[in-house]
Amino acid sequence: MKVLANDGISQSGINALEAAGYEVITTTVAQEQLQNYINDNEISVLLVRSATKVRQDLIDNCPSLKVIGRGGVGMDNIDVEYAREKGLHVINTPAASSHSVAELVFGHFYGLARFLHKSNRDMPLEGDANFKGLKKAYAKGTELKGKTLGVIGFGRIGQATAKIGIGAGMNVVAFDPFIEKANLELEFFDGQKVNFEIETISKEAVLKQADFLTLHVPAQKDYVIDEADFNIMKDGVIIANAARGGVVNEVALVKAIESGKVARAALDVFEKEPQPEIQLLMNSALSLTPHTGAATNEAQDRIGVELADQIISILG
Protein backbone atom coordinates (compact mmCIF):
# COMPACT_ATOMS: atom_id res chain seq x y z
CA MET A 1 0.00 0.00 0.00
CA LYS A 2 1.09 3.54 -0.72
CA VAL A 3 1.32 6.44 1.72
CA LEU A 4 1.49 10.02 0.43
CA ALA A 5 3.01 12.33 3.04
CA ASN A 6 2.07 15.48 1.20
CA ASP A 7 3.36 17.92 3.80
CA GLY A 8 6.34 15.75 4.76
CA ILE A 9 7.06 13.19 7.47
CA SER A 10 10.12 12.48 9.60
CA GLN A 11 12.63 9.84 8.57
CA SER A 12 11.75 7.85 11.69
CA GLY A 13 8.13 7.70 10.48
CA ILE A 14 9.22 6.68 6.98
CA ASN A 15 11.44 3.94 8.41
CA ALA A 16 8.62 2.53 10.55
CA LEU A 17 6.19 2.46 7.62
CA GLU A 18 8.68 0.96 5.18
CA ALA A 19 9.61 -1.72 7.70
CA ALA A 20 5.92 -2.68 7.76
CA GLY A 21 5.83 -2.97 3.96
CA TYR A 22 4.37 0.41 2.98
CA GLU A 23 5.65 2.56 0.13
CA VAL A 24 6.09 6.13 1.37
CA ILE A 25 5.93 9.01 -1.12
CA THR A 26 7.09 12.42 0.10
CA THR A 27 6.41 14.37 -3.08
CA THR A 28 4.53 17.60 -2.34
CA VAL A 29 1.57 17.66 -4.71
CA ALA A 30 -0.21 20.97 -5.36
CA GLN A 31 -3.73 21.13 -3.95
CA GLU A 32 -5.37 21.36 -7.39
CA GLN A 33 -3.45 18.30 -8.62
CA LEU A 34 -3.93 16.19 -5.51
CA GLN A 35 -7.07 14.33 -6.60
CA ASN A 36 -5.54 13.12 -9.86
CA TYR A 37 -2.28 12.16 -8.17
CA ILE A 38 -4.04 10.08 -5.50
CA ASN A 39 -6.13 8.27 -8.10
CA ASP A 40 -3.31 7.75 -10.60
CA ASN A 41 -1.07 6.28 -7.91
CA GLU A 42 -3.76 4.43 -5.92
CA ILE A 43 -2.82 6.13 -2.66
CA SER A 44 -4.27 4.41 0.42
CA VAL A 45 -3.06 6.84 3.09
CA LEU A 46 -2.86 10.63 2.83
CA LEU A 47 -0.80 12.36 5.51
CA VAL A 48 -0.98 16.15 5.89
CA ARG A 49 -0.03 18.91 8.30
CA SER A 50 -1.70 22.30 8.04
CA ALA A 51 -0.96 23.20 4.41
CA THR A 52 -2.95 20.55 2.54
CA LYS A 53 -6.76 20.69 2.67
CA VAL A 54 -8.83 17.50 2.66
CA ARG A 55 -12.38 18.53 1.84
CA GLN A 56 -15.53 16.66 0.76
CA ASP A 57 -14.76 16.75 -2.96
CA LEU A 58 -11.37 15.12 -2.45
CA ILE A 59 -12.88 12.50 -0.16
CA ASP A 60 -15.69 11.75 -2.64
CA ASN A 61 -13.43 11.51 -5.67
CA CYS A 62 -10.58 9.41 -4.26
CA PRO A 63 -11.98 5.89 -3.69
CA SER A 64 -8.56 4.37 -2.94
CA LEU A 65 -8.16 6.42 0.25
CA LYS A 66 -8.54 4.49 3.49
CA VAL A 67 -6.78 6.69 6.03
CA ILE A 68 -6.29 10.44 6.39
CA GLY A 69 -3.67 11.46 8.92
CA ARG A 70 -2.87 14.86 10.37
CA GLY A 71 0.63 15.34 11.75
CA GLY A 72 -0.32 17.53 14.71
CA VAL A 73 -3.34 18.45 16.78
CA GLY A 74 -5.92 20.64 15.03
CA MET A 75 -7.80 19.06 12.14
CA ASP A 76 -9.68 22.09 10.84
CA ASN A 77 -8.11 21.53 7.38
CA ILE A 78 -9.87 18.14 7.14
CA ASP A 79 -13.61 17.45 6.87
CA VAL A 80 -13.28 14.91 9.65
CA GLU A 81 -16.90 13.89 10.28
CA TYR A 82 -17.67 13.62 6.57
CA ALA A 83 -14.62 11.42 6.00
CA ARG A 84 -15.61 9.14 8.86
CA GLU A 85 -19.18 8.93 7.56
CA LYS A 86 -17.69 7.71 4.28
CA GLY A 87 -15.84 4.96 6.11
CA LEU A 88 -12.37 6.52 6.19
CA HIS A 89 -10.15 6.48 9.26
CA VAL A 90 -9.03 9.94 10.35
CA ILE A 91 -6.10 10.10 12.76
CA ASN A 92 -3.89 12.76 14.34
CA THR A 93 -1.11 13.07 16.92
CA PRO A 94 -2.50 15.25 19.71
CA ALA A 95 0.27 14.64 22.24
CA ALA A 96 3.38 14.66 20.06
CA SER A 97 3.95 18.40 19.80
CA SER A 98 2.62 19.63 23.15
CA HIS A 99 5.98 20.30 24.74
CA SER A 100 7.36 21.91 21.58
CA VAL A 101 4.54 24.46 21.50
CA ALA A 102 4.92 25.10 25.23
CA GLU A 103 8.63 25.79 24.87
CA LEU A 104 8.00 28.23 22.02
CA VAL A 105 5.49 30.12 24.15
CA PHE A 106 8.06 30.52 26.89
CA GLY A 107 10.73 31.44 24.38
CA HIS A 108 8.46 34.33 23.42
CA PHE A 109 7.60 35.16 27.04
CA TYR A 110 11.22 35.37 28.15
CA GLY A 111 12.11 37.38 25.06
CA LEU A 112 9.23 39.81 25.56
CA ALA A 113 9.88 40.17 29.29
CA ARG A 114 13.43 41.34 28.57
CA PHE A 115 12.81 43.08 25.20
CA LEU A 116 14.95 40.57 23.30
CA HIS A 117 12.67 40.83 20.25
CA LYS A 118 13.61 44.52 19.98
CA SER A 119 17.20 44.56 21.20
CA ASN A 120 18.11 41.79 18.75
CA ARG A 121 17.01 44.14 15.96
CA ASP A 122 18.54 47.32 17.39
CA MET A 123 21.96 46.09 18.54
CA PRO A 124 23.23 45.30 15.02
CA LEU A 125 22.04 48.74 13.86
CA GLU A 126 22.95 50.94 16.82
CA GLY A 127 25.02 48.86 19.22
CA ASP A 128 28.32 50.56 18.42
CA ALA A 129 27.02 54.15 18.32
CA ASN A 130 24.21 54.05 20.90
CA PHE A 131 25.13 51.32 23.39
CA LYS A 132 24.27 53.37 26.48
CA GLY A 133 21.01 54.56 24.94
CA LEU A 134 19.90 51.01 24.17
CA LYS A 135 20.95 49.85 27.62
CA LYS A 136 18.71 52.52 29.16
CA ALA A 137 15.85 51.76 26.75
CA TYR A 138 15.79 48.06 27.63
CA ALA A 139 16.63 48.33 31.33
CA LYS A 140 13.08 47.85 32.59
CA GLY A 141 12.60 44.15 31.98
CA THR A 142 10.48 41.94 34.17
CA GLU A 143 10.95 38.49 35.68
CA LEU A 144 8.53 35.60 35.19
CA LYS A 145 9.18 34.12 38.62
CA GLY A 146 6.41 35.08 41.02
CA LYS A 147 4.08 36.25 38.26
CA THR A 148 0.72 34.71 37.37
CA LEU A 149 0.43 32.67 34.19
CA GLY A 150 -3.08 32.50 32.78
CA VAL A 151 -3.85 29.57 30.50
CA ILE A 152 -6.95 29.65 28.28
CA GLY A 153 -7.56 26.08 27.11
CA PHE A 154 -6.22 23.42 29.48
CA GLY A 155 -5.83 20.39 27.26
CA ARG A 156 -2.50 18.71 26.51
CA ILE A 157 -0.71 21.80 25.22
CA GLY A 158 -2.15 24.09 27.88
CA GLN A 159 -1.05 21.67 30.58
CA ALA A 160 2.43 21.32 29.05
CA THR A 161 2.74 25.11 29.08
CA ALA A 162 1.53 25.26 32.68
CA LYS A 163 4.25 22.77 33.69
CA ILE A 164 6.94 25.05 32.34
CA GLY A 165 5.32 27.97 34.15
CA ILE A 166 5.37 26.05 37.43
CA GLY A 167 9.01 25.16 36.82
CA ALA A 168 9.74 28.86 36.30
CA GLY A 169 8.19 29.69 39.67
CA MET A 170 4.93 31.11 38.35
CA ASN A 171 1.46 30.90 39.83
CA VAL A 172 -0.79 29.11 37.30
CA VAL A 173 -4.49 29.80 36.77
CA ALA A 174 -6.45 28.13 33.98
CA PHE A 175 -9.80 28.14 32.22
CA ASP A 176 -11.30 25.34 30.16
CA PRO A 177 -15.05 24.77 29.68
CA PHE A 178 -14.55 21.00 29.47
CA ILE A 179 -11.96 20.36 32.20
CA GLU A 180 -12.60 20.91 35.91
CA LYS A 181 -9.14 20.02 37.14
CA ALA A 182 -5.91 18.43 35.96
CA ASN A 183 -3.02 16.68 37.65
CA LEU A 184 0.31 17.93 36.34
CA GLU A 185 3.31 15.67 36.87
CA LEU A 186 6.67 17.40 36.60
CA GLU A 187 9.60 15.07 35.93
CA PHE A 188 13.15 16.14 36.73
CA PHE A 189 16.58 15.09 35.47
CA ASP A 190 17.32 12.88 38.48
CA GLY A 191 14.07 10.91 38.29
CA GLN A 192 12.18 12.88 40.91
CA LYS A 193 8.55 13.68 40.20
CA VAL A 194 6.29 16.32 41.71
CA ASN A 195 2.53 16.51 41.20
CA PHE A 196 0.43 19.66 41.09
CA GLU A 197 -3.35 19.65 40.91
CA ILE A 198 -4.79 22.66 39.12
CA GLU A 199 -8.51 23.38 39.35
CA THR A 200 -9.82 25.50 36.52
CA ILE A 201 -11.60 28.77 37.19
CA SER A 202 -13.74 31.12 35.10
CA LYS A 203 -12.34 32.81 32.01
CA GLU A 204 -13.02 36.21 33.54
CA ALA A 205 -11.09 35.29 36.69
CA VAL A 206 -8.11 34.16 34.61
CA LEU A 207 -8.12 37.37 32.56
CA LYS A 208 -8.25 39.52 35.71
CA GLN A 209 -5.30 37.74 37.36
CA ALA A 210 -2.88 36.96 34.54
CA ASP A 211 0.41 38.83 34.15
CA PHE A 212 1.21 36.50 31.25
CA LEU A 213 -1.60 34.97 29.20
CA THR A 214 -1.36 32.07 26.76
CA LEU A 215 -4.05 30.53 24.55
CA HIS A 216 -4.34 26.85 23.65
CA VAL A 217 -7.76 26.44 22.07
CA PRO A 218 -9.01 25.04 18.74
CA ALA A 219 -10.22 27.20 15.87
CA GLN A 220 -13.79 28.39 16.35
CA LYS A 221 -16.39 30.75 14.94
CA ASP A 222 -15.99 33.61 17.40
CA TYR A 223 -12.94 35.25 18.90
CA VAL A 224 -11.86 33.80 22.23
CA ILE A 225 -10.13 37.07 23.06
CA ASP A 226 -11.99 40.15 21.82
CA GLU A 227 -12.17 43.82 22.83
CA ALA A 228 -14.32 43.15 25.89
CA ASP A 229 -11.83 40.53 27.09
CA PHE A 230 -8.90 42.92 26.77
CA ASN A 231 -10.79 45.41 28.93
CA ILE A 232 -10.94 42.86 31.76
CA MET A 233 -7.19 42.19 31.77
CA LYS A 234 -4.54 43.76 33.97
CA ASP A 235 -2.76 46.78 32.55
CA GLY A 236 0.57 45.73 31.06
CA VAL A 237 -0.30 42.09 30.44
CA ILE A 238 1.90 40.05 28.07
CA ILE A 239 0.02 37.67 25.74
CA ALA A 240 0.99 34.74 23.50
CA ASN A 241 -1.12 33.04 20.84
CA ALA A 242 0.41 29.84 19.50
CA ALA A 243 -2.97 28.15 19.02
CA ARG A 244 -4.84 29.17 15.88
CA GLY A 245 -5.17 32.35 13.88
CA GLY A 246 -8.56 33.89 14.52
CA VAL A 247 -8.91 33.10 18.21
CA VAL A 248 -7.55 36.56 19.06
CA ASN A 249 -9.06 39.66 17.46
CA GLU A 250 -5.90 41.15 15.94
CA VAL A 251 -7.44 44.62 15.46
CA ALA A 252 -8.46 44.70 19.12
CA LEU A 253 -4.99 43.45 20.10
CA VAL A 254 -3.28 46.32 18.31
CA LYS A 255 -5.65 48.79 19.98
CA ALA A 256 -4.92 47.22 23.38
CA ILE A 257 -1.19 47.58 22.75
CA GLU A 258 -1.62 51.23 21.73
CA SER A 259 -3.61 51.96 24.89
CA GLY A 260 -1.06 50.24 27.14
CA LYS A 261 -3.51 47.57 28.29
CA VAL A 262 -1.27 44.98 26.61
CA ALA A 263 2.43 45.67 27.10
CA ARG A 264 3.68 43.24 24.47
CA ALA A 265 2.45 40.13 22.70
CA ALA A 266 3.64 37.09 20.77
CA LEU A 267 1.96 35.62 17.70
CA ASP A 268 2.88 32.31 16.11
CA VAL A 269 -0.42 32.16 14.18
CA PHE A 270 -2.38 34.75 12.26
CA GLU A 271 -5.89 35.42 10.99
CA LYS A 272 -4.67 35.93 7.42
CA GLU A 273 -1.99 33.25 7.36
CA PRO A 274 0.18 32.91 5.30
CA GLN A 275 0.00 36.66 4.61
CA PRO A 276 -0.29 38.36 8.01
CA GLU A 277 -1.44 41.95 8.20
CA ILE A 278 1.43 44.40 7.67
CA GLN A 279 0.53 46.35 10.83
CA LEU A 280 1.29 43.21 12.83
CA LEU A 281 4.57 42.54 11.04
CA MET A 282 5.73 46.12 11.64
CA ASN A 283 4.55 46.44 15.26
CA SER A 284 7.56 46.71 17.57
CA ALA A 285 5.55 45.42 20.54
CA LEU A 286 5.05 42.04 18.87
CA SER A 287 7.32 39.02 18.89
CA LEU A 288 6.52 36.99 15.78
CA THR A 289 7.17 33.47 14.47
CA PRO A 290 5.81 31.85 11.28
CA HIS A 291 3.60 29.09 12.79
CA THR A 292 6.53 27.05 14.11
CA GLY A 293 5.01 25.88 17.40
CA ALA A 294 5.37 22.17 16.61
CA ALA A 295 8.43 22.58 14.41
CA THR A 296 11.14 20.87 16.42
CA ASN A 297 13.11 17.83 15.32
CA GLU A 298 11.94 15.95 18.39
CA ALA A 299 8.26 16.70 17.80
CA GLN A 300 8.46 15.73 14.14
CA ASP A 301 10.08 12.43 15.10
CA ARG A 302 7.31 11.72 17.60
CA ILE A 303 4.64 12.73 15.06
CA GLY A 304 6.08 10.46 12.35
CA VAL A 305 6.34 7.43 14.62
CA GLU A 306 2.85 7.97 16.11
CA LEU A 307 1.29 8.25 12.64
CA ALA A 308 3.12 5.14 11.49
CA ASP A 309 2.02 3.16 14.54
CA GLN A 310 -1.62 4.15 14.03
CA ILE A 311 -1.57 3.35 10.31
CA ILE A 312 -0.03 -0.06 10.90
CA SER A 313 -2.56 -0.76 13.65
CA ILE A 314 -5.49 0.19 11.37
CA LEU A 315 -4.37 -1.39 8.10
CA GLY A 316 -2.01 -4.07 9.31
- pLDDT, tens digit (0-9, with 9 covering 90-100), for 2-27: 999 999 999 999 999 999 999 999 99
Among candidate residues 157, 228, 248, 173, the one with its CA nearest the CA of residue 205: 173
* pTM of the model as a whole: 0.88
Active site (annotated) includes residue 273 = yes
**Identical fold between 2-96+297-315 and 98-288:** yes
Amino acid 74: pLDDT: 79
Q: Topology of 98-288 in CATH?
A: Rossmann fold (3.40.50)
- Facing residues of 248 across strands? 225
Helices (H) and strands (E) in the chain, counts: 13, 13
pLDDT at 290 over 90: yes
Q: Tell me what percent of the residues of the chain surpass a pLDDT of 90.
A: 95
Mean pLDDT throughout 219-231?
95
- pLDDT, tens digit (0-9, with 9 covering 90-100), for 244-258: 999 999 999 999 999
Active site (annotated) includes residue 291 = yes
What whole-number distance in Å separates Cα of residue 88 and Cα of residue 85? 7
Task: Provide the pLDDT confidence category of residue 147 given band limits of 50, 70 and 90.
Answer: very high
Amino acid 72: pLDDT: 85
Q: Which of 49, 70, 244, 302 is catalytic?
A: 244
Amino acid 242: pLDDT: 97
Mean pLDDT throughout 214-237?
96
What whole-number distance in Å separates Cα of residue 276 and Cα of residue 3? 33
* Domain-wise residue ranges, the chain: 2-96+297-315, 98-288
- pLDDT, tens digit (0-9, with 9 covering 90-100), for 115-126: 999 999 999 999
Helix residue ranges per DSSP H, the chain = 11-19, 34-41, 56-61, 80-85, 98-113, 116-126, 131-137, 156-167, 203-209, 227-232, 250-259, 278-281, 297-315
Task: Provide the pLDDT confidence category of residue 95 given band limits of 50, 70 and 90.
Answer: confident
Amino acid 115: pLDDT: 98
Mean pLDDT score across all residues of the chain = 96
Q: Residue 48: count other Cβ atoms within 10 Å of its Cβ.
A: 23
Task: Provide the pLDDT confidence category of residue 94 given band limits of 50, 70 and 90.
Answer: confident
Q: At what angle do helices 297-315 and 11-19 cross, to 10 degrees?
A: 20
Active site (annotated) includes residue 49 = no
Instruction: Give domain 2-96+297-315's CATH number out of 3.40.47.10, 3.40.1590.10, 3.40.50.720, 1.10.260.40.
Output: 3.40.50.720
Q: Which of 264, 291, 302, 306 is catalytic?
A: 291
Q: Which of 103, 126, 271, 273 is catalytic?
A: 273
